Amino acid sequence: MYDKVKLAALRDSTEQWEETTLRKTLAKMPERRGAFITTSSEPVNRLYTPLDVADLDYERDLGFPGEYPFTRGVHPSLHRGRLWTMRMFAGFGSAEETNARFKYLLDQGQTGLSIAFDLATLMGYDTDAPEALGEFGKCGVGVSSLKDMEIVLDGIPLDKVSTSMTINSPAAILWAMYVAAAEKQGVRADQLRGTTQNDILKEYIAQKEYIFPPEPSMRLVVDTIEYGAAHLPQWNPVSISGYHIREAGSTAAQELAFTLADGLEYVRWSLARGLDIDDFAPRLSFFFNAHNDFFEEIAKYRAARRIWAREMRETFGAKDPRSWLMRFHTQTAGASLTAQQPENNIVRVAIQALAAVLGGTQSLHTNSMDEALALPSQHAVTVALRTQQIIAEESGVTNTVDPLGGSFFVEAMTNEMEAQARAYFKRIEDLGGVLPAIDKGFFQKEISDAAYRYQREIDDHTRTVVGVNDYADNKPLTIPILAMDPNGYDRQVKRLQALRKERDNGRVGQALDRLRLACNGTENTMPHILDCVRAYATLSEIVGVMRESFGKYAEPTWV
């Protein structure tokens, strides 16, 4: 893209600038002490010029928005045509409380739902199971049966609102509950729009909310991909998630590499099932973190699109241009929030959200200022939503597509991100692939090493966290904290107990038996899970059948 003669002249003039103008200034005003590094501890040069992107080819490496390799965005007009979906992650306490929060957020201008489930639900237990004691509603809503899901979604037009569900090991079951609840509203499956997180690989790598061993868990993911391609053409059956990898302490490059490696593994398993790549790849979606380092995050998103497009077209031979697109949701970094001076989190979130928007996200959640202390209060979540709305309506950043494209710094970082990701792909391949690398603890060690380094940088003041290791104070907290309905647990348990008595238990038993046969065989489990859900089998009952067939997973002792 640059003339070699002019680059040589630029190299000479750069050296002259360093020897004259820069040297004189540094003699009078030395640079600040400390390392000039990104959030991921990558060094940042003082200045970037065309010399740093001398090999960049515009059409090969950047292209135009909406065209291969999609570095500059998956849509030609991006946010000029339609704003990103403002999808606030919500859910707490009882089904009734979560339903009320959803309706409030929709009234305030939210444009999509995102359901958080409590730990009992995430681990496949009913609210009244002994293993669930003390966990009801604390990190999301408790959902034990179709009856709970019906209440969560009561009065919400599912043919008009898209919904994301953050659920992994029991994802197929909660997805079936959503489909069945929509049927009760008279909404067909092919009308539903949304996403199920359903990314089990990142559970073994980072979040650790797994139930079954990797192989049967991957089978369940492919079952949902296959079923979705046939029956829910507008639904993303899996959202391949780097968010939790980053929250566990990874660098930006590790988040990028490990997420895409997981995505490529789902593609391989789906192809092994006999699916055509162009039948399912257009509905694969991604979920990334937006951390503090503004330019590093933007470069990560741009590199992600380019890598995915090239892999889909050149490695897997996808012919449909929709298969080359990386569509992704972004959430601001929960791990960056501080309990100290929580109002500072509003500023952190605004910077992170702006990076996501400039990086071309299709959907965005902004964390609330109080999330280092508790689930967000109504006031805090409103401020977080307003942050998105101000970026959309007042900042001017939606007026043009990829406004930082062509920046020497951003393009150099984008290239470096891709290079680091591809180096990780090679290391994973040398270990035998994603599952063997998990079994050997490769991902886990890489993340823990990065997290340790980051914490050491805070401890030795190489890195400043405002209000924590610098600019601290001892003022008491003054922000309101969410209070949940104290009767929510009892109400949910009574509803669950009544359900078990009033339903047709013969129908439940037959449906569970058919599911057991499917789990023990090779048949797609989704139709049988739907039958169990429609019969009002509970989450614990369905997961119990799967545990019998698949077993449980325990992480190797080297961790």
Identify which of 389, 396, 403, 454 has the alpha carbon closest to the alpha carbon of residue 298. Answer: 403
What residues have CB less than 8 Å from 23, skipping those under 6 apart?
none
pLDDT of 122 reads 98
Residue 498 within any structural domain of the chain: no
pLDDT of 537 reads 98
pLDDT of 483 reads 86
- Please tell me the distance from the alpha carbon of residue 366 to that of residue 514, in angstroms, as a whole number: 42
Residue 74 within any structural domain of the chain: yes
Q: Which amino acid is at 99?
A: N
Report whether pLDDT(302) > 60.
yes
Angle between helices 526-534 and 214-231 (to 10 degrees): 80
Residue 464 within any structural domain of the chain: no
Residue 479 within any structural domain of the chain: no
Q: Establish how many alpha carbons lie within 13 A of residue 74's alpha carbon, considering only the half-sphere containing its beta carbon.
A: 24
Residue-wise pLDDT tens digits, 27-62 = 999 998 767 999 999 999 999 999 999 999 999 999
Q: Contact at 8 Å (CB) between 254 and 213? A: no
Residue 20 within any structural domain of the chain: no
Q: Work out the mean pLDDT of the chain and round it to a whole number.
A: 96
Residue-wise pLDDT tens digits, 87-143 = 999 999 999 999 999 999 999 999 999 999 999 999 999 999 999 999 999 999 999
Residue 342 within any structural domain of the chain: yes
* 460-487 average pLDDT score: 90
pLDDT of 558 reads 60
- Please tell me the distance from the alpha carbon of residue 449 to that of residue 187, in angstroms, as a whole number: 48
Q: Contact at 8 Å (CB) between 273 and 222? A: yes
Total domains in the fold of the chain: 1
pLDDT of 439 reads 95
Residue 146 within any structural domain of the chain: yes
Angle between helices 214-231 and 539-550 (to 10 degrees): 120
Percent of the chain with pLDDT over 90: 96
Provide the residue range defining the domain that includes 319.
Answer: 67-397+405-459
The more confidently predicted of residues 34 and 450 is: 450
Report whether pLDDT(478) > 90.
no
Residue 521 within any structural domain of the chain: no
CATH, residue 288: 3.20.20.240
